[in-house]
């Protein structure tokens, strides 16, 4: 298990040069992928199932909004927890359907993000990345 400096990763997030989304950016910031690029919502579980699922958020954990679909569990949104009291998240706004290359928003309150992505069937899950995240 290595150590990932969040500020170093933020300096390398994709702008307009590569198509990306919230899932690709969250996994990139956490050090789980080498390139900040688009990852399909149904394909995100391929990465997440290799990580330890947590019962509560930790600094550096990946947070997801997940829904069960006919094709399986789909990650509808993802970000990185950068503080736990209060819960603050760094994420790329937008979704699979719109504005996928929006600029990354740092340290926004969980409730603000949750209001944008909540759904009656969405579940929040937290995952511990392979590397320790230094914020």
Closest CA to 129 of 58, 40, 46: 58
Q: How many domains does the chain have?
A: 1
Q: Tell me the chain's radius of gyration from C-alpha atoms.
A: 13
At residue 73 the predicted structure's pLDDT band, cuts being 50, 70 and 90, is: confident
Confidence check: pLDDT of 98 > 50: no
Read off the tokens for 55.
């019962």
Please name the helix (run of DSSP H) or strand (run of DSSP E) that holds residue 33, with its range, or none.
none
Establish how many alpha carbons lie within 13 A of residue 104's alpha carbon, considering only the half-sphere containing its beta carbon. 26
Q: What digits encode the pLDDT tens for the residues 31-42?
A: 999 999 989 988
Domain hosting residue 66, numbered range: 3-134
Closest CA to 120 of 70, 67, 69, 83: 67
Least confident of 44-48, 87-91, 118-122, 124-128: 118-122
User: Is residue 92 a contact partner of residue 23, using CB atoms and an 8 Å limit?
Assistant: no
Give pTM, 2 decimals: 0.89
Read off the tokens for 84.
């736990």
Give the pLDDT of residue 55: 97
Express as a percent the part of the chain with pLDDT over 90: 59
């Amino acid at each position: 298990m290595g150590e990932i400096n969040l500020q170093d990763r933020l300096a390398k997030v994709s702008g307009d040069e590569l198509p990306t989304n919230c899932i690709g950016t969250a996994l990139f910031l956490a050090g789980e992928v080498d390139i900040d690029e688009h990852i399909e919502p149904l394909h995100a579980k391929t990465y997440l199932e290799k990580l330890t699922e947590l019962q509560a958020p930790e600094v550096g954990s990946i947070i997801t909004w997940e829904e069960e679909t006919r094709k399986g569990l789909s990650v509808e949104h993802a970000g990185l927890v950068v503080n736990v009291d209060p819960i603050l998240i760094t994420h790329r706004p937008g979704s699979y359907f719109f504005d996928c290359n929006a600029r990354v928003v740092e340290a926004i309150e969980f409730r603000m993000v949750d209001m944008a992505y909540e759904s009656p069937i969405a579940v929040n899950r937290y995952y511990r990345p392979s590397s320790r995240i230094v914020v």
